């Protein structure tokens, strides 16, 4: 098959498009012919070596995949060649203490598609049959490929972790990102009010169209000041943070008493300072989260089918132009998801 892969770490120039070993399914696996694959910031970390692929190089990125089932392992029941599929990207052992508690995303052997195994920047990809959900006919491959990481992570962060309620206020960092554009919609669906940040004024209208009430350009305005003004000095109930560094540090200052910051990524830096006085004196919660459950992904598919959540797609690149697609994400040109289509 053809795939876009890398043999050494670096920037977009390290992404090669060439022949690559075909995936060989085990008895409990299926091979999916990729219809579309979403790009994520974790792809950049895998590529540049900040999060080197655990299985070593060469490596194929790509954790958000839709397509049609091509081959079914000998022990797989209930799935057949030709079915439309979406792959739930998280792998868990099902047996460790945390899996038994139902918290599979913190499995001691947790891994995910495109990181711990080759992913979907390819014509074919292998996944356990247990990770396959049917992709409803109403959802295109492209739309589906925008859901499994960004939409699912944002859903789990807001609904499960922050327990967001109608009428609460939320600060969503980076409306132009996949996670940001998803979080705004989900917060709106819950009935919350949203303030969000953008890095350029041309993304303001986009953020409003998703449901944000107030949009702040963080390059020209202080978002903490903007939150104070917007909430009459109260602060927001919830922050969705995925940038790290100064953004993380200042996000804590945007919270009201008893507020919750959910950290779901570290796109700029893995480090962030915390003014502990705010955390203890205001009884804040700082909560980490990582993906969500396959059941939550199924719920999201239902909402997307009904048109109540819309995957936000910036553009799709042909698979052979993966290098350009990666550069496009690195340049932060995107408003919503960037996809590869074989």
Footprint on this chain of Zn ion (rule: CB under 5 A): 92-93, 96, 99, 107
95: left (phi over 0), alpha (psi -120 to 50) or beta: alpha
**Which three-class secondary structure state does DSSP give residue 42?**
helix
Minimal distance, residue 105 CB to Zn ion, in Å: 10
What residue has token string 């098959």?
Answer: 1
Residue 341 is encoded by which pair of tokens?
């289509």
Toward Zn ion, which CB reaches closer, 156 or 203?
A: 156
Rounded CA gap, 192 and 195, in Å?
A: 10
Toward Zn ion, which CB reaches closer, 96 or 253?
A: 96
Minimal distance, residue 101 CB to Zn ion, in Å: 10
Minimal distance, residue 145 CB to Zn ion, in Å: 26
Toward Zn ion, which CB reaches closer, 84 or 104?
A: 104
Minimal distance, residue 179 CB to Zn ion, in Å: 25
**Cα four-point dihedral sign 302, 308, 312, 318:** positive
Toward Zn ion, which CB reaches closer, 54 or 318?
A: 54
Minimal distance, residue 89 CB to Zn ion, in Å: 16
* Burial category of 71 from C-beta neighbours within 10 Å (exposed 0-12, middle 13-18, buried 19 and up): middle
**Which three-class secondary structure state does DSSP give residue 40?**
coil
* Burial category of 241 from C-beta neighbours within 10 Å (exposed 0-12, middle 13-18, buried 19 and up): buried
Toward Zn ion, which CB reaches closer, 96 or 341?
A: 96
- The conformation of residue 299, written as its DSSP 8-state character, comes to H
């Amino acid at each position: 098959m053809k795939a876009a892969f890398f043999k050494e770490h670096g920037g977009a120039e390290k992404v090669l498009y060439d022949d690559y070993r075909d995936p060989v399914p085990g008895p409990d696996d299926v091979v999916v012919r990729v219809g579309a694959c979403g790009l994520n910031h974790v792809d950049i970390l895998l590529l540049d070596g900040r999060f080197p692929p655990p299985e070593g190089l060469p490596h194929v990125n790509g954790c958000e995949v839709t397509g049609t089932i091509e081959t079914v392992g000998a022990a797989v029941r209930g799935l057949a060649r030709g079915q439309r599929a979406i792959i739930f990207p998280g792998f868990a052992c099902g047996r460790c203490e945390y899996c038994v508690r139902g918290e599979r995303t913190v499995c001691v052997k947790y891994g995910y598609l495109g990181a711990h195994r080759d992913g979907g920047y390819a014509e074919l990809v292998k996944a356990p049959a247990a990770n396959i959900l049917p992709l409803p006919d109403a959802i295109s491959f492209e739309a589906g490929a925008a859901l499994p990481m960004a939409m699912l992570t944002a859903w789990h962060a807001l609904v499960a972790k922050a327990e967001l309620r109608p009428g609460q206020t939320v600060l969503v960092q980076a409306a132009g990102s996949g996670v940001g554009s998803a979080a705004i919609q989900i917060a709106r669906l819950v009935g919350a009010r949203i303030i969000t940040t953008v890095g350029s004024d041309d993304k303001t209208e986009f953020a409003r169209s998703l449901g944000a009430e107030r949009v702040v350009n963080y390059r020209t305005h202080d978002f903490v000041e903007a939150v104070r003004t917007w909430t009459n000095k109260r602060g927001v109930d919830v922050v969705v943070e995925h940038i790290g560094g100064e953004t993380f540090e200042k996000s804590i200052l945007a919270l009201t008493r008893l507020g919750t910051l959910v950290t779901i990524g570290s796109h700029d830096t893995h480090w962030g300072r915390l003014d502990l006085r705010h955390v203890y004196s205001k009884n804040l919660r700082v909560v980490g989260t990582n993906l969500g459950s396959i059941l939550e992904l199924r719920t999201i598919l239902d909402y997307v089918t009904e048109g109540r959540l819309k995957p936000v797609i910036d553009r799709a690149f042909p698979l052979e132009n993966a290098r350009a697609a990666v550069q496009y994400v690195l340049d932060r040109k995107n408003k919503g998801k960037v996809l590869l289509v074989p």
